[in-house]
């Protein structure tokens, strides 16, 4: 099914949250920028929004942290769930689905939406009523839809034990004739086809490689001091959340084995996956005698001031001052942090997660690579990159050229406009 390009003017993005620096919010912003440059108007429906109020429709129950939604999630994916759920839970799901569906109809009418783009809301069932509401809206209105899938529930072990298989099969994702499905890597396309029979287009995540990042300004000139670095200390940046699949133990081990004066900076908080792993990272850092700092309180997508008067920096501000980037994830939907390191011309350590191995590495990118554990070779290569300016520049310039070729806004624009033929 092709989207009627000449009939679409108003695009409605739908998700649980469009705010901050999570991958879905960032990629949505890039898609919206491309669409707006092509003359479309973009609007947003979510439970948390940092977009302009004139373009936004805020509905608290759309957020995965809404108390009622959390109750449903915890009951549906309880460890003791055996495929059977209580009638009261079903009724609660349906009640909230109707509430959200009414809100979606209001959103569509308010902004005259004629193309829907659910962003990961039809793949990860953090908000089951929202997924059901979107599915029914598409069925009832026939609105053309681009369902943008960043990752799928079957990739996450916590969703395998549940009492909502009927809802998962119905809406995560739905198989409807007016939906065009988009995934961000080739493995997702294969799995989606094998598991559901749904065909999809692959559109990778991108960065604006045509326009290199602006140099650091006066505001960000004190980043190293704010992070507590000494003048002769290396800044090793781990630009991720503190969750198990990010493999942060490998970054800690690398820094320990570098035998250099270095600070490991972790940019984001643990988020919605709990704090047990964060404590594990703290304990492991102490055991390995690595100076590790969690700085999510002073990093945001916009500059500002914390309640106690400290400056808030953007992630871009931090990247400018980083000497080396670690990205030892065991699993990723794509790998935004890898592209960010390439964009900011930083050397990077990367684990052989599957998407890197099959989609990214074959394009010729250069990195310090590990395959499940830190080797002597990886440590030696990282040391060489920190010490040898020419070696470092050769790596980052080669990577930047490849990023521009394969992961630029121009690539995104071509693929999106092909969807709109």
Which distant-in-sequence residues (6+ apart) come within 8 Å of 95 by Cβ? none
Is the domain of 328 the same as that of 395? yes
pLDDT tens for residues 219-254? 999 999 999 999 999 999 999 999 999 999 999 999
Is the domain of 51 the same as that of 131? yes
CA–CA distances in Å: residue 342 to residues 55, 178, 415 = 32, 37, 22
Contact 189, 200 (CB under 8 A): yes
Before 173, cis peptide (omega within 30)? yes
pLDDT tens for residues 332-368? 888 899 999 999 999 999 999 999 999 999 999 999 9
First and final C-alpha spacing in the chain: 10
- pTM exceeds 0.85: yes
Is the domain of 386 the same as that of 237? yes
Is the domain of 79 the same as that of 199? yes
CATH code of the domain in which 237 resides: 3.40.50.2000
pLDDT tens for residues 369-392? 999 999 999 999 999 999 999 999
Give me the chain's average pLDDT, please.
94
Is the domain of 190 the same as that of 76? yes
Range of the domain at 153: 5-203
Is the domain of 252 the same as that of 303? yes
**CA 205/CA 407 separation, integer angstroms:** 7
Domains contained in the chain, number: 2
pLDDT tens for residues 121-132? 999 999 999 999
Is the domain of 247 the same as that of 195? no
The reported pLDDT for the residue numbered 274 is 64
**CA 299/CA 269 separation, integer angstroms:** 10
The reported pLDDT for the residue numbered 212 is 95
Is the domain of 195 the same as that of 227? no
Is the domain of 185 the same as that of 262? no
**Sign, CA torsion 179/185/188/192:** positive
Contact 304, 232 (CB under 8 A): no
In a domain, 214, yes or no: no
Q: Residue 286 half-sphere exposure, CB side, CA atoms within 13 Å? A: 5
Is the pLDDT confidence value at 81 over 80?
Answer: no
Q: Is 348 helix (H, G, I), strand (E, B) or coil?
A: strand
pLDDT tens for residues 139-196? 999 999 999 999 999 988 889 899 999 999 999 999 999 999 999 999 999 999 999 9
To which residue do tokens 């990860």 refer? 124
Is the pLDDT confidence value at 2 over 60?
Answer: no
Which token pair is 44?
């947003």
Q: Kindly state the average pLDDT of the residues 56-82.
A: 93
Is the domain of 112 the same as that of 182? yes
Which distant-in-sequence residues (6+ apart) come within 8 Å of 135 by Cβ? 122, 170, 171, 174, 176
CATH code of the domain in which 162 resides: 3.40.50
């Amino acid at each position: 099914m092709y989207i009627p390009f000449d009939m679409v003017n108003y695009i409605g993005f739908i998700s649980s949250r469009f705010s901050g620096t999570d991958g879905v919010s960032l990629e949505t912003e890039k898609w919206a920028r491309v669409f707006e440059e092509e003359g479309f108007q973009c609007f947003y429906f979510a439970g948390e929004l940092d977009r302009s109020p004139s373009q936004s429709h805020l509905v608290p129950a759309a957020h995965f942290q809404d108390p009622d939604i959390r109750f449903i999630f915890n009951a549906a994916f309880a460890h003791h769930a055996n495929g059977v759920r209580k009638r009261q839970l079903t009724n609660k799901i349906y009640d909230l689905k109707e509430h959200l569906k009414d809100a979606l109809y209001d959103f569509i009418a308010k902004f005259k939406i004629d193309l829907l783009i659910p962003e990961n809301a039809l793949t990860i069932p953090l908000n089951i009523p929202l997924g059901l509401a979107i599915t029914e809206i598409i069925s009832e209105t026939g609105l053309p839809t681009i369902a943008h899938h960043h990752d799928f529930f079957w990739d996450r072990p916590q969703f395998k034990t549940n009492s909502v298989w009927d809802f998962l099969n119905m809406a995560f994702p739905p198989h409807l004739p007016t939906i065009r499905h988009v995934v961000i890597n080739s493995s997702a396309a294969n799995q989606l086809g094998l598991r559901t029979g749904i065909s999809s287009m692959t559109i990778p995540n991108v960065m604006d490689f045509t326009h290199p990042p602006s140099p650091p300004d006066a505001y960000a000139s004190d980043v190293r001091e704010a992070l507590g670095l000494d003048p002769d200390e290396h800044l090793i940046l781990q630009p991720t959340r503190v969750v198990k699949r990010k493999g942060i133990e490998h970054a800690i081990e690398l820094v320990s084995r570098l035998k250099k004066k270095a600070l490991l900076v972790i940019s984001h908080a643990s988020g919605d996956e709990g704090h047990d792993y964060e404590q594990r990272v703290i304990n492991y850092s102490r055991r390995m005698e690595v100076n590790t700092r969690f700085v999510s309180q002073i990093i945001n997508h916009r500059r500002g001031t914390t309640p106690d008067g400290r400056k808030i920096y953007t992630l871009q501000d931090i990247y400018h001052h980083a000497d080396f980037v670690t990205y030892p994830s065991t699993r990723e939907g794509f790998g935004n942090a890898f592209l960010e390191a390439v964009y900011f011309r930083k050397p990077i350590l990367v684990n052989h997660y599957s998407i890197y191995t099959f989609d990214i590495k074959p394009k010729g990118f250069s990195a310090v690579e590990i395959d499940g554990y830190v080797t002597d070779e990886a440590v030696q290569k990282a040391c060489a990159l920190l010490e040898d300016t020419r070696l470092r520049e050769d790596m980052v310039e080669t990577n930047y050229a490849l990023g521009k070729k394969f992961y630029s806004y121009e690539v995104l624009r071509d693929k999106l406009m092909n969807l709109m033929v």
